[in-house]
Structure 1
Amino acid sequence: MRASLFLLQNLGTTCLASMTDAAMGYPQALVRRIGHPVIWIGGLIGTLDRWLNTPRRTPCQRRLAGFVAAGVIAALPTASAMIIARLIRHLLPRWMALPVTAVLASSLVAQRSLHDHVLAVAQAADESLPAARIAVSHIVGRDPEQLDEAGVLRAATETLAENFSDGIVAPLLWMAVGGLPGAVFYKSVNTADSMIGHRTPRHEAFGYAAARLDDLVNLPASRVSALWIILAALTLPGMRAGAALHTVWRDARAHRSPNAGWPEAAMAGALGIRLSGPRTYDGVPVAEPWVGDGTPALRPDDLYRALKLYRRACLIQTLAGLSVLGLLAWRRRQRTA
């Protein structure tokens, strides 16, 4: 009985956090005044990187230090979130505890922020290529000066698909499983991967544990995110749900990432475009296979279509969460009647 109540509370937090983020996002005034949870987690990661990842250590020592760092990065913020969640439950009345927890948890979801950043790229592309390059530089790691208009739009679409999984589906799934601490655990692991999980001379060894842990915790969400995109394509005219399913089946596992290929393949198939492919990072050309069968020559309208698909996928995810919440609440009521 207690387990079912715990799950109900977590699902309630998840649904309310998702709707809160979609409606409001994280106010920039708060970022300027107190920062953001990701910024706080990033401060911890940066400190551990400076302390443990020193040049005098051998690659083996760096890898071992990286395992220690990954453990601290995952455990310390999660433990802090557990204390906060417990204080909220004990200090606030029950009717107030859930919405307060949900508002705090909404800061770990990026529906509104991701949408607005990608929309800025589409709007900039309507104006000029230099404006589009500036806009896309805020959300991708590759050199925007090497991108033509189609390259800018592909980069933005890939970011939209990948971060739908990493920034929305994954934290909400972990929130549904573990409440606020579950979402904080995921966000800590994901932030560590984005900061130190790179195959560079400095982080090749030290970031190994963070990168592998991130692959593991993102595995369920990447598959679920592809499902939401396929279901969204089913509900929108002009989208190709069958092609999305086929592209996921054929191309997802060929992607350089064990997880990003799933939502990217679903989006490429649904929109009838090609994503991924060759690109340049820090001046170094990287040969990547194409995902999808359509044209790689994207136009701004394709990015607007991708945003429409993204919004529908977010809506379907929220409705699915509410449906499960309602079903569990009904079953619990039946058992206690």
Structure 2
Amino acid sequence: MFMGGLMGTASLLSGRAFANEMMKEISQLKPGEFTWHPERAPSGPVSVVVSLPEQRVHVYRNGIRIAVSTCSTGKPGHATPTGVFVVLQKDKNHHSSIYDDAPMPNMNRLTWSGVALHAGNLPGYPASHGCVRLPMKFSELLFGATHVGTPVIIAGAHTDPWELTHPGMVLSGYAEQEFEQVVAGLDGKKPPSDWASASNTPVTSVIVSSADKTIELIENDRVVARSKLTLKGGDKLGSHVFVLNGANSDARGMHWSAITHSTDASPLTRDDVVMQRIGAEPSFVDQMQSRMHPGMTMVLTDAPLSPDSRSGKDFVIVTTG
């Protein structure tokens, strides 16, 4: 089932047996080995989760895991930061400007200060200067699946993606005509395959901070709108990343894949109502709805939206490092 030699009968399994087989295979991966099964979800938005304790990279499309790889993250003194990132830049033949022009093939940049996903040596333990090293072939496949704006979550613990259909419009009360307007706006929109095409179809992201009681709307790398956050049912949100899959006509709402994460290894559970707890000013909601597209990312965090938790002209929410 994974490239590197292990063959099995998972294709004949289903339900819980399939899930157990997948977990068994993941735990048995040796340095440099990986799985890659894009046929499980041939199209749709991609999200990436880097598990520091497992030294694994999980790739999901439309909330379905299509790949898992071994990796090597930052060694002591050069720890890989945890938090929510997006792919800021892609370079198939990148070389480091910090470490003696070291090659970084198939580089997906996560911070302007140098953290990235790229091919490199995998000794079986954290050994990098902060980047996430990947097997060469896996890095090639991942490079072909990501786009500028693809969310990458680096965490100590995380849930598998869970599905959520918000009943009505996000950040506002339900209105029948709003659903039709947003669905019409989604038609024909796809995330850009690279930065150059973003002028035609910009990457849209929304960040909700309970610490600042603020919501920001980001288009590519620019904040285009900001609103005061209204929050029901407590003053904390937890750490969640929602990726918009599209409209659900039966439920008359937007269909999302969500991942909950944390910096430590504590057990996590899904929160089915967290998105219904947040609200924003009408003008902000109007601007957000006009920019929604499949692959749009919404980040919920209890961290402040301050320079200390952000990296340059992007919306990275760094929780450690």
* TM-score above 0.5, yes or no: no
Larger radius of gyration: 1
TM-score by length of 1: 0.25
TM-score by length of 2: 0.26
Compare the two structures and name the one with the higher strand fraction. Answer: 2
Asked which structure has the greater RCO (Cα within 8 Å, sep 6+), the reply is 1
